[in-house]
A and B are shown apart, each in its own frame.
Chain A
């Protein structure tokens, strides 16, 4: 599905990461693999440090911390939030929505549109699509888009295929109308027949959590995880990304009548360095135009990796100038989407630690 928007912009971006930093080397003893084998994988995948919450920290805790920072620093007025979109796969509760939890905790006005979206690695773009659409309403002047996940709490510490790459984080994007009428082209696809490639099997109503679903099981490759934990079919996900993403980007650029050279930066979801570099090679994009350094510094925080890539790599530049950015998200669902948009200058572009 092709989408088109105009007169929309991201005016500010804040990323929040837990101050608690863990290193892959320190955690290697948790995995049932010889250290030499794990160290080799570390180099290839870009595992190094990751930020994960310490204790029972929830999605709304990271989000409210970031929002209070914006209020306290004068970057956002408490009464300026006309819509609040929260994209998460790790909500505080099955019900109520985490957006309601955040609205209540922050004391936001009642005259507000609150919406939760259950999405992961494509979640920043899915959230932007919703934010852009909400801005059609005259009553909505400012949309607060929060992407947040604390997936470390749902990932087995003894799963070397998932735990080392997981990172917890939140991002807050302020989305507003713009005088710039440059078309923002986007596209989106979903294939629910492949939904089991990325899932948490237990904890919903189909398979409620129980003592049985908490039992760790060997996946046959010496990774131990329970049905309550994140389960990722690495081979299926890798193939999905390599097969679907390059043609999606080609279609996007063709629709926008743009060339690869017109794009200043390819800001893609970052599952791991290897997968991104293989994508860059296949698409003939120089590595310097497609940052792949988020997993090594913070971990893969699902829908937050694109805002993290912006804040970590382009902070200074985007407060001064505008770039042509090609964004792409792909993951749970399976869902894949991309967008070509002018990005910047931003009123703020910041990263803070949650303590």
Chain B
């Protein structure tokens, strides 16, 4: 199973996602990258992230994405 960092790297290979705490604010993810990320996380972890959870705050950094996945019972 790919890690969150690996999934992010595949979407935007030009960025180091460990170096930012605010992916959206730092211009590393735009709204459509978040859509791609949700689709990849759904597939990788066998879940369906609710549309209600697809808000920029849940995709600010690796920790917030991890917290979101925990809500769906994923490590």
Q: Tell me, yes or no, whether B16 is within 8 Å of chain A by CB.
A: no
| Chain B residues near A241 (CB-CB < 8 A) | 51
| Chain B residues near A278 (CB-CB < 8 A) | 48, 50-51, 54
- Residue pair B55, A239 in contact (C-beta under 8 Å): yes
- Residue pair A282, B11 in contact (C-beta under 8 Å): no
A234→B35 CA distance, assembly (Å): 10
- Residue pair B35, A45 in contact (C-beta under 8 Å): yes
Q: Tell me, yes or no, whether B1 is within 8 Å of chain A by CB.
A: no
| Chain A residues near B51 (CB-CB < 8 A) | 238, 241-242, 275, 278-279, 281-282
| Chain A residues near B55 (CB-CB < 8 A) | 235, 239
- Residue pair A238, B54 in contact (C-beta under 8 Å): yes
Q: Interface residue count for B (Cβ, 8 Å)?
A: 17
Q: Tell me, yes or no, whether B39 is within 8 Å of chain A by CB.
A: yes
Secondary structure at chain A's binding surface: helix, strand, loop or mixed?
A: helix
Q: Interface residue count for A (Cβ, 8 Å)?
A: 23
Q: Which residue of A lies closest to B10 (CB)?
A: A40
- Residue pair B36, A281 in contact (C-beta under 8 Å): no
Q: Tell me, yes or no, whether A44 is within 8 Å of chain B by CB.
A: yes
A242→B48 CA distance, assembly (Å): 14
The answer to whether residues A221 and B54 also contact, given A37-B11, A44-B36, A274-B39 and a CB cut-off of 8 A, is: no
A228-282 with Cβ < 8 A to chain B: 234-235, 238-239, 241-243, 274-275, 278-279, 281-282
B50-65 with Cβ < 8 A to chain A: 50-52, 54-56
A235→B29 CA distance, assembly (Å): 13
| Chain B residues near A161 (CB-CB < 8 A) | 31-32
Known: A44-B39, A281-B51. 7 other contacts (CB 8 A): A45-B35, A235-B55, A235-B56, A238-B51, A241-B51, A242-B54, A274-B39
B-side interface residues toward A, CB under 8 Å? 11-12, 27, 30-33, 35-36, 39, 48, 50-52, 54-56
